[in-house]
Amino acid sequence: MKNHIIALSALSRNKEWEKIDSYLKNMEGIILDADGDMTGNKAVDALLYQKQKRAKEENIKWECDVQMPKEYCINEFDLCILFGNILDNALEACGRMQRGEYRFINIQAKTVKKCFLLEVKNSMDRTEKCEDGFTNKGDSQERGIGLLNVSDVVNRYNGAVHKEAGKGIFVISILMPFPDTAHDNKTAV
């Protein structure tokens, strides 16, 4: 994605609008597939399709039930930070396991009351330790900023993150309340 952003930025600086349009249409054709998950959000659909494709290539069982809220209360950039970082971590954890071991990723997302709930479960090596939501990848310097970015997004929406690991399974649950629309729609008299 970084390479695509660099290319699109260069085209934008040169005001090559037709080339940008063509580039984006080409990307959309590559990313989206008729068999991809249909969540109701094109950005999330594209991201899930790419992660599912990688999981399939690595022989990781993929289960996905994502139902995006009809009225988006979370912007697409933030959604991609959440889904992208969490799923990258899940794919990495499965990748560190032995090929013969059962590897899986299970994604659930839906509206619960007036909140958005996202829960991802994935298999992980039983010998890995998990401290403060971070797994020990064998090198303490190898921790990324993915979960920190996830926490930042969740905090912006006054949400909560819960992480736990045990018996070879890592679970991350995110709950983010929707803004109070009744409060937002009040008018001064």
Contacts with 72 (C-beta within 8 Å, 6 or more apart), sequence order? 41
Residue 34's pLDDT band, with cuts at 50, 70 and 90, is: very low
Positive or negative: CA dihedral 82, 91, 165, 134: negative
pTM value?
A: 0.74
pLDDT at 93: 93
Joined tokens for residue 8: 């699109």
pLDDT tens digits, one per residue of 93-125: 999 998 789 999 999 999 988 899 999 999 998
The packing angle between helices 17-31 and 2-13, to 10°, is 160
Closest CA to 167 of 102, 116, 110, 117: 102
Model confidence at 37: pLDDT above 50: no
Give the pairing type, strands 160-166 and 134-135: unpaired
